[in-house]
Amino acid sequence: MTVLDRLHDRHVLGRRVRVLSTHVAELLPPGARVLDVGCGDGLMARAVLDRRPDLDIRGIDVLVREGAAIRVEPFDGTRIPAADKSADAVMFVDVLHHTTDPTVLLREAARVARQAVVIKDHLADAPLAGLTLRFMDRVGNARHGVALPYTYWRRAQWQQAFDALGLVVEVWREQLSLYPPVASAIFDRSLHVVTRLRPTR
């Protein structure tokens, strides 16, 4: 583990899970059966469940990690192994930018979700956004073997994909305060978004 890895785990990871799980928990429907796509170690889903014990969350991932905090099933990264409208909500937490084409999984989420698709991902509109996000991605994910295609979209690209797939934006938040004050000016700015979408098809 590098010095950057240790700094990230000590000063960033815990706060990120705590703050982001609060945002996500607020956006999931009451009593929902939730599919967490790309759930990783399951810590985010577990933190959401701590805030929302009414939820039932199961995870799928292309890399199933030992000792995950929730139950996790493998999938191929393209086709969600679930029937049409079989989940109340589908969530992606920092997952879609790890795919070469986010519309593939967005289309699957629109197929599987009855009530909501909840996404936390990045925005590439800010100056030097690409460089900053690449750095963050490498520090947070490279050691875990996560694919890093660096697929960062601008707001207009997200909206275009949502429109094409019949996903209506109900909530859109960019001020998430994921990082400590000393790092916020660099790593928060307008680089992150949490959104809740309503499937219409």
Q: Rounded to an integer, what distance in angstroms lies between the CA atom of residue 114 and that of residue 137?
A: 31
Confidence of residue 181 (pLDDT cuts 50, 70, 90): confident
Q: Rounded to an integer, what distance in angstroms lies between the CA atom of residue 146 and that of residue 144?
A: 6
**Looking at domain 3-199, does it have CATH number 3.40.50.150?**
yes
> What is the per-residue pLDDT across 3-52, written as a single tens digit (0 to 9) for each?
344 444 454 567 889 999 999 999 999 999 999 999 999 999 999 999 99
Confidence of residue 89 (pLDDT cuts 50, 70, 90): very high
Domain definitions of the chain by residue range: 3-199
Is residue 108 within 8 Å of 96, Cβ to Cβ? no
> What is the per-residue pLDDT across 130-161, written as a single tens digit (0 to 9) for each?
999 999 888 877 677 788 999 999 999 999 99
Instruction: Compute CA 76 distance to the chain's CA centroid, rounded to the nearest angstrom.
Output: 17
Handedness of CA 47, 74, 1, 23 (dihedral sign): negative
Considering the entire predicted model, what is its pTM? 0.91
Which of 72, 4, 85 shows the shortest CA–CA distance to 38? 72
